[in-house]
Amino acid sequence: DIQMTQSPSSLSASLGDRVTIICRASQNIDKFLNWYQQKPGKAPKVLIYAASTLQSGTPSRFSGSGSGTEFTLTISSLQPEDFATYFCQQSFTTALFTFGPGTKVDIK
Amino acid sequence: QLQLQQSGPGLVKPSETLSLNCSVSGGSISSSNHFWGWIRQPPGKELEWIGNFYYSGDAYYNPSLKSRVTISVDMSKSQFSLRLDSVTAADTALYFCAGGGYASGSYESWGQGALVTVSS
């Protein structure tokens, strides 16, 4: 099974800050990596798919990079609506998707 | 834009079967462009992938749940379903249905979520 880890597990940041979240896979997943944003009590929303492609409607302050086993989600200038939990998810193996444990971004 | 609407009981007794439905609108459930999945999230915890159903008719499940779970599609009703047998308190969670895109490999559309509590 492919295991996903994320760091940090949580972070505190101020409006306008640049925020970086790292996701690592236990084996090579090429670019089959997606990023989701989830707010409390709500369904996740896909922000980025295939490691770096912005889903329609995702603000341009979000970007993704990486391939293989290490991936990064960056928010260039944190906005009030960005305070949420972010999950990565691998879709390399059709038969077994896995999510990362999440990174909670809150207000400093 | 796909819209997914979940339905099903919010309380299930231990050892019984959890059943949830997800109705799809705004697109065809029989489209080869999509796959259908279920994901759950115990209160305060991380997302857990339950399984996916594909256009080919193949279904894949989380190995930790595989012996108890079935995902099926009813094209005549434009809905897909989750069945989880022999539930315990550990199955208490917020359950989501989701529609995935073959091109992106991601879950592009989600249901509203349904909290299912396992308790006698």
- A80: distance to nearest CA of chain B, Å? 22
pLDDT band at A23 (very low <50, low <70, confident <90, very high): very high
* Predicted pLDDT of residue B109: 97
Place of tokens 């949580």: A10
* Predicted pLDDT of residue B1: 85
* Predicted pLDDT of residue B64: 96
Q: Percent of chain B having pLDDT more than 90?
A: 96
- A23: distance to nearest CA of chain B, Å? 14
Give the nearest chain B residue to A51 (CA atoms): B104
Nearest to A22 by CA among A12, A34, A10, A7: A7
Give the nearest chain A residue to B60 (CA atoms): A95
Taking an 8 Å cut-off on Cβ atoms, the answer to whether B107 and A44 are in contact is yes
Taking an 8 Å cut-off on Cβ atoms, the answer to whether B60 and A96 are in contact is yes
Which residues in A lie closer than 8 A to residue B39 (C-beta atoms)?
A: 99
pLDDT band at B5 (very low <50, low <70, confident <90, very high): very high
Nearest to B46 by CA among A103, A71, A32: A103
Asked if residue A23 lies in contact with residue A6, where contact means CB atoms within 8 angstroms, the answer is yes
- A46: distance to nearest CA of chain B, Å? 6
Q: How far out from the chain centre does Cα A72 lie?
A: 7
Which residues in A lie closer than 8 A to residue B52 (C-beta atoms)?
A: 94, 97
Q: How far out from the chain centre does Cα A36 lie?
A: 6
b or e along A63-84 (b: 16 or more beta carbons within 10 Å of the residue's beta carbon)? bbebeeeebbbebeebeeebbb
Question: Could you give the CA distance from residue A14 to residue A8 in angstroms, rounded to a whole number?
Answer: 16
For B36-49, write each residue's pLDDT tens digit.
999 999 999 999 99
For B55-79, write each residue's pLDDT tens digit.
999 999 999 999 999 999 999 999 9
- A99: distance to nearest CA of chain B, Å? 6
- Average pLDDT (B87-106) is 96
Which residues in B lie closer than 8 A to residue A41 (C-beta atoms)?
A: 113
* Predicted pLDDT of residue A94: 87
For B16-33, write each residue's pLDDT tens digit.
999 999 999 999 999 999
Which residues in A lie closer than 8 A to residue B111 (C-beta atoms)?
A: 43
Which residues in B lie closer than 8 A to residue A42 (C-beta atoms)?
A: 113
For A30-66, write each residue's pLDDT tens digit.
999 999 999 999 999 999 999 999 999 999 999 999 9
B15 DSSP 8-state letter: T
